[in-house]
Each structure stands twice: as structure tokens, then as C-alpha cells.
Amino acid sequence: GLHSPSGRLTSTWYKGEYTHQLSMEDMRMRPDLETGYPGRTYRFVDEQWIVYPFGFGLSYHTWSYAWRSPAHTSGNKASSGAAGWEGCSLALSVALDSQKGADPSTAVLLFFRPPNGDEAGLTPRKELRRFE
């Protein structure tokens, strides 16, 4: 063909057992370790409950991704914890390459995964920060 489309999921696909762990009337996002409540959305649910994650995608091409340049930061970390990063920025550049052939397209997603240490589950496990 002349074109090579790709696609990504706009929602998370959960395992069947996931629905037995929560009530459809309970709209809390964050997990509760004491009660075993798994949480909701790609941001909070543990990967053990996921079949296909939000943003999972397929393409007819094989893509390679590489950091094009080192990360550049601005600002200074003021204190420990997430609040210490407020006002800081990070600039990244990614090189995207595919095999020769049809006119390929894909979406690049940048997820932020905070460092470990939030035992209460209040901080998202990951967040979509940018896509192109």
C-alpha cells in the first residue's frame, strides 16, 4: 500500500477479574491498599490488572526511538518531594526512524513516572505529559 497507518488505545483494557475488585458506584481514582481497592485509570491502577495499557498501539512498520540530545533542565529543585520540582522544566528530543516503504505514521507518547516512595498510592503511577 501507499500508506502505513498506526493506532493507539484511548483507554485501558482491564482483565476480567478487575471488575470483581470494585463497585461501579465507587468512583475513587486512587487505590486503597487497606481495602484492596485497585484504583481507576492508567494513572493509578497496578499493571497486574491490565491487559492492554492506555496508549498501547500497533503499526505495520517497525519503529526505533532514540534520545536525540541530552535532556536540558531549568530551575532548581527547592525541596524534597514532588512540590520541590514545581517551576522546573525539562526539554527532551527524540529521533524516530522506521524502515523504508509506504508513508508511515505513528504517535509518540511521553509518560512521566514519578520516583518510588508513595506507599499510600496518592501519586499517580504514571502520567501522559506530551504526545505528538
What does the block give as the cell for 99? Answer: 524502515
Rounded to a whole number of angstroms, the CA Rg of the chain reads 18
pLDDT tens digits, 66-121: 888 766 677 666 655 556 666 777 788 888 888 766 778 888 898 988 877 666 66
How far apart are alpha carbons 123 and 53 in whole angstroms?
18
Return the H-helix or E-strand segment holding 43. helix 41-44
Q: How many domains does the chain have?
A: 1
> What's the pTM value of the predicted model, to 2 decimals?
0.72
SS3 130: strand
Domain extent at residue 114: 3-131
